Amino acid sequence: MINWNDYPNFSKEEFDCKHSGNNEMDAQFMGRLQLLRDAYKRPIIVTSGFRDITHPIEAMKKRPGAHTTGKAVDIAIDRGDAYRLLKLALWAGFTGIGIKQKGSGRFLHLDTIEEGTDGFIRPTIWSY
């Protein structure tokens, strides 16, 4: 069981699946995210944390995505702040980085999936 007191800038509720309420976040991932937050020195707004395989976004996929592993997060951020957080995410060792910086709903996806895990190719970066 994860000890949320180890991550003073985050709460369990931020990472609960918005569909099922389940939360299976990985402690090592959360440690890396806290390290990133400490280096960034500003609040990080989580828009998506853990997703149950029954979550509508995951249910549409051929295979469950990174969020179902508890090793992924989407963070609402844009422009210069996104650039700064991206540089720090690379420094902190995140292996999967997705970037949506066009239109509304801008965010960064960060994960720590390892190479070869269920067909994931890591390290990698992509855009939405």
User: What is the predicted pLDDT for the residue at 97?
Assistant: 97
Strand ranges of the sheet holding 96-100, from the earlier edge strand across to the other edge: 45-48, 72-76, 107-111, 96-100, 124-127
Task: Specify if 4 maps to a domain.
Answer: no
User: What is the predicted pLDDT for the residue at 64?
Assistant: 87
Task: Specify if 56 maps to a domain.
Answer: yes
DSSP class of residue 5 equals G
Per-residue model confidence as pLDDT tens digits over 81-122? 999 999 999 999 999 999 999 999 999 999 999 887 777 889
Query: pLDDT grade, residue 74 (50/70/90)?
Result: very high
Domain of 42 in residue numbering reads as 11-127
Task: Specify if 1 maps to a domain.
Answer: no
Query: Helices 79-92 & 27-40, crossing angle to 10 degrees?
Result: 130
